[in-house]
């Protein structure tokens, strides 16, 4: 680095306390952004919709970050952490947008708690209040498992974000426009590894097919419409996931055909009385994930981080 | 200017057209803040500094309003940029600073200035090529990565992608097969 930056220790004497940590106080990720809901949209519905998209990103990010230090090599370890970070950023904005649309979705915390609304949503909701698809929450497996999960997840999310750019909600449209650029890289990464594992050794192909078989029952939920998604799509704010089915199938078909892998024939994982992740009905895996993700924040609701 | 005036009025402050000199000094101070992860670039070089305005409230108190946009949604450097802006403007005599986030339009690597590109190259990094312009469904890229950038050290075109995800969200890792050196490339987005 050139000399004008001097020693890294130069700044340690003098200045104010804010230089020691990210501690200059509350920092709103939507500071200065107009969060007025578009006309004709119920703020509570908009907030729930933002939770759906935000929880998908948050829970997927948490599963990806569990890979940190466990990937087969350093490059892939960094790649998984980068993707986790992109999704965490999307989650942060979407949960903040949910809270701004309807503050009633934010769990109540002790008076004077410094926890910002998006963190309260991430760390102080119970499993039944999470609206993510179940594909995001199931426990991690081997490397083939994360490749397949990311391929299925990012293919649907990229198609969704690409359409969400036209949302009448300017915050959702902006998050989507940025997200498209990021998730394009995620999907390409997963697609390339899918191809590599399929054409690799007998063992890599066996593991890939086994992961695909295990995760496929969770794929249809990505392109199934919850009534709320349908109604917000009609209002020009959201995207109906069912309308993405053809495009998602085409992309997956392209990867499967290049990899010489047949489209799996497994029935979708049933919900409870037809209700699934979007309704807050999850697998046991989510409770375990949340227990680990939330325990420290919940033990210190007045904590500053 | 109209948008800035509207935003100022919405915040209960008046836009101060006579404060051109203050605005110029504030813009100069803010423009000198460096990116914490690529300190060879100022926020202006990187294209994340989107506006500097000076506003006065009813009591005549002066606030500098700085608008920045994240390079990537999860960019962890935003907090540091915000703190650095507050400090740098404080040193320049502006005690009240408000940092706003602008999300639309999303940051593009095309916004990195010519000066910024030269600074990247001087530091051994490869500057981004033109960002892809997309409309409609995004095509899948399963083959070898997008165009391979030339080696910033020896200029050879024989380079190979190591990973599209590098030490920070905005960089990919490449290796030159001629001089055998690895290098970082700022991604086109």
Whether A235 maps to a domain, the answer reads yes
pLDDT confidence tier of residue B2, bands split at 50, 70 and 90: low
Whether A21 maps to a domain, the answer reads no
Query: Whole-structure pTM over 0.80, yes or no?
Result: yes
The domain locations on chain B are: 3-101, 124-128+146-189
Query: For B173-178, what is the mean pLDDT?
Result: 94
Q: Tell which of B138, B139, B188 to mutate to test the A interface (max A CBs under 10 Å).
A: B138
User: Within an 8 Å CB–CB cutoff, is residue A60 touching chain B?
Assistant: no
Provide CATH code, domain B3-101: 3.30.300.130
- To the nearest whole Å, the CA of A102 is away from the closest chain B CA by 20
* Cα B125-B127-B130 angle, rounded to 5 deg: 160
Mean pLDDT by 10 residues, chain A (305 residues): 52 50 60 91 97 98 97 94 96 97 95 91 97 98 98 98 97 96 96 97 98 98 97 98 97 97 94 93 97 95 80
Q: What is the per-residue pLDDT across B95-142, written as a single tens digit (0 to 9) for each?
A: 999 999 999 999 999 999 999 999 999 999 999 999 988 778 888 888
CATH number of the domain within which A275 lies: 1.20.1260.10
Chain B residues touching residue A85 (CB < 8 angstroms): 72, 74, 76, 169
- pLDDT value, residue B8: 61
Q: What is the maximum alpha-carbon separation in chain A? A: 66
Whether A53 maps to a domain, the answer reads yes
Q: What is the per-residue pLDDT across B130-169, written as a single tens digit (0 to 9) for each?
A: 998 877 888 888 876 667 899 999 999 999 998 989 888 8
* A27 to B164: CB separation less than 8 angstroms, yes or no: no
User: Within an 8 Å CB–CB cutoff, is residue A185 touching chain B?
Assistant: yes
Of all residues in chain B, the percent with pLDDT exceeding 90 is 63
User: B166, B102, B125: which is closest to B39 by C-alpha?
Assistant: B125
Whether A3 maps to a domain, the answer reads no
Chain A residues touching residue B189 (CB < 8 angstroms): 181-182
pLDDT confidence tier of residue B34, bands split at 50, 70 and 90: very high
- pLDDT value, residue B59: 85
Q: What is the per-residue pLDDT across B43-85, written as a single tens digit (0 to 9) for each?
A: 999 999 999 999 888 888 889 999 999 998 888 888 889 999 9
- pLDDT value, residue B15: 63
Q: How many domains does chain A have?
A: 1
ipTM of the complex: 0.86
Whether A30 maps to a domain, the answer reads no
User: Within an 8 Å CB–CB cutoff, is residue B86 touching chain A?
Assistant: yes
Residues 247-276, chain A, touching B (beta carbon < 8 A)? 247, 251, 254-255, 258
- pLDDT value, residue B133: 81
The domain of A180 spans: 37-299
């Amino acid at each position: 680095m050139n000399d004008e930056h001097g020693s890294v220790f130069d700044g340690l004497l003098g200045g104010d306390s804010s230089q020691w940590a990210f501690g200059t106080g509350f920092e709103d990720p939507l500071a200065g952004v107009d969060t007025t809901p578009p006309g004709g949209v119920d703020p509570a519905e908009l907030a729930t919709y933002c939770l759906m998209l935000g929880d998908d990103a948050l829970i997927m990010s948490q599963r990806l970050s569990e890979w940190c230090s466990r990937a087969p090599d350093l490059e892939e370890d960094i790649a998984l952490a980068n993707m986790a970070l992109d999704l965490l950023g999307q989650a942060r904005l979407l949960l903040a947008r949910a809270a701004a649309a309807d503050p009633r979705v934010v769990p109540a915390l002790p008076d004077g708690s410094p926890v910002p609304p998006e963190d309260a949503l991430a760390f102080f909701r119970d499993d039944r209040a999470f609206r993510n698809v179940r594909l995001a929450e199931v426990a991690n497996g081997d490397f083939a498992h994360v490749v397949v999960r990311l391929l299925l997840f990012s293919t649907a999310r990229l198609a969704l974000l690409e359409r969400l750019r036209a949302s009448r909600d300017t915050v959702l449209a902006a998050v989507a426009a940025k997200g498209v650029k990021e998730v394009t890289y995620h999907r390409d990464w997963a697609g390339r590894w899918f191809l590599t594992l399929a054409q690799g050794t007998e063992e890599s192909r066996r593991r890939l097919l086994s992961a695909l078989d295990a995760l496929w029952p969770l794929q249809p939920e990505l392109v199934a419409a919850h009534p709320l998604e349908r109604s917000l799509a009609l209002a020009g704010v959201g995207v109906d996931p069912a309308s993405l089915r053809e495009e998602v199938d085409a992309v997956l078909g392209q990867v499967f055909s290049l990899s010489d892998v047949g489209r799996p024939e497994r029935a979708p994982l049933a919900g409870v009385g037809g209700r699934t992740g979007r309704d807050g009905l999850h697998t046991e895996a989510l409770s375990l994930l949340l227990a680990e993700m939330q325990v420290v924040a919940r033990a210190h609701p007045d904590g500053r981080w | 200017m109209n948008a800035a005036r509207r935003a100022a009025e919405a915040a209960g402050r008046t836009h101060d057209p006579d404060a051109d000199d203050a605005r110029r000094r504030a813009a100069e101070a803010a423009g000198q803040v460096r990116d914490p992860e690529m300190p060879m670039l100022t926020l202006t070089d990187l294209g994340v500094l989107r506006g500097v305005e000076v506003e006065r409230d009813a009591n005549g108190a002066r606030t500098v309003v700085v608008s920045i946009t994240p390079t990537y949604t999860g960019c962890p450097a935003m907090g540091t940029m915000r703190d650095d802006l507050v400090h740098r403007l404080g040193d320049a005599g502006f005690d009240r600073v408000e940092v706003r986030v602008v999300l639309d339009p999303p940051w593009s690597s095309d916004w990195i200035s010519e000066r910024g590109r030269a600074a990247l190259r001087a530091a051994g990094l490869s500057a981004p090529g033109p960002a892809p312009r997309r409309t409609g469904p995004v095509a899948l890229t399963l083959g070898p990565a997008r165009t391979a950038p030339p080696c910033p050290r020896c200029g050879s075109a024989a380079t190979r992608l190591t990973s599209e995800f590098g030490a920070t969200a905005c960089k990919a890792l490449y290796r030159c097969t001629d001089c055998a050196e690895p290098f970082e490339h700022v991604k086109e987005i």
